[in-house]
Amino acid sequence: MTLVASILMLALTRAEIIERFKNPPVTRADGLVQVFADCPSDMRREYQGPVSSFVAEVCTTLSTALKDRPGHFTQPAIIVYVGDIRTNNSQVVSREQVRPDGSVCTRIRLLAPGFTDTDQLRRETVKAFYRAVTGERIDDQTADRRFREADPRLRVAEEYDSIARWMRGERMDGDDEKYLKLMRSVLAPGKSYPDDILRFASRLYLYPEIHSEPLCHQYQCMDFRTAVKSVNKDLRIRVLAYLKAPELIAFGGGRGEKLAEASMLYSAFLREIAKGKMSEADLLAMLDAADLKLNQAMEEARLRAEGKIQ
């Protein structure tokens, strides 16, 4: 206990001291994590649960990524103390301890839980996890890398960021083919994020096969609504629609149900344009249905990016 903490403890009443010691710890992650709240009851209610959930989630993520997953722990190896300082002290204090039986325990203290540096808390938790589970002692950089590799959400976010920076023309490693391949990849199988929707939407255009010969003598790039109104003016529109239809299914697959449904609707719409038999009103109705489904996919992707849904 620090000198400041000792002085503060002396200032407490006997009842307050007893109340703090009676407060039970929260044990999570198959007994690996234990969180004590050495603080007043209002701070305990506000921080003990969230801190224990945060640390346990980090450990569960790392455990899931291991080939040999650890079993239940008979005694905690990561012990977190929620402190009672209310000022903006973001410090995360971590100390390694070797028990008499040779097992390793890491004690982490959050001096002012309301201002804790969560990145540092995650980093210290990762290091403590590997000490306890694999016996490894890793540095901060390795801890960050291990967690990125273990958490698919961070990996996907990092890859999306790489694509976005490359598309903005920022100099990366100069390997354009690498980023083109990454753009075509399904980064999060079964799920879509806003960048997935935007990249799919960027394909909802028809382009003349020869750029010196615009569609209808004026369009180097034709959106689908213009195509509906112009299909009888240029036979190439029907041909390009026919070629585009299977492409959209390919690019809409594997990225979540709503985007897959939207891609199927757009593909069906393009096939009808290619046939040249459906009325303009019916074609526009099909396009409206596809646009609506794409908007739903975008809303779902936005909520996922904000962490409101999985």
* Cα separation, 246 vs 203, whole angstroms: 12
Q: Are strands 104-110 and 78-82 parallel, antiparallel or unpaired?
A: parallel
Q: Model's pTM, two decimal places?
A: 0.50
Contact predicate 106/117, CB 8 Å: no
Q: Among all chains, which residue has been given the structure tokens 């801890």?
A: 143
pLDDT of 160 strictly over 60: no
- Give first-to-last CA distance, the chain, whole Å: 41
Q: What is the 3-state secondary structure (H, E, C) of 228-247?
A: HHHCCCCCHHHHHHHHHHHH
Per-residue pLDDT tens for 215-229? 999 998 899 999 999
* Residue 144 in tokens: 């960050």
Per-residue pLDDT tens for 95-146? 999 888 888 899 999 999 888 898 899 999 999 999 999 999 999 999 988 8
* Cα separation, 59 vs 143, whole angstroms: 12
Contact predicate 78/32, CB 8 Å: yes
* Cα separation, 35 vs 24, whole angstroms: 9
Contact predicate 72/100, CB 8 Å: no
Per-residue pLDDT tens for 15-58? 555 454 556 788 888 889 999 987 888 888 888 888 988 899 89
Contact predicate 127/92, CB 8 Å: no
- 108: how many CB neighbours lie within 10 A of its CB? 23
* Cα separation, 133 vs 112, whole angstroms: 28
pLDDT of 306 strictly over 50: yes
pLDDT of 8 strictly over 60: no
Percentage of the chain modeled with pLDDT above 70? 80
Burial category of 279 from C-beta neighbours within 10 Å (exposed 0-12, middle 13-18, buried 19 and up): exposed
* Residue 38 in tokens: 């050495």
- Structural domain spans, the chain: 3-150, 152-185, 188-305
On the CB side of 239, CA atoms within 13 Å amount to: 8
Per-residue pLDDT tens for 250-288? 788 777 888 989 999 999 999 999 999 999 999 999 999
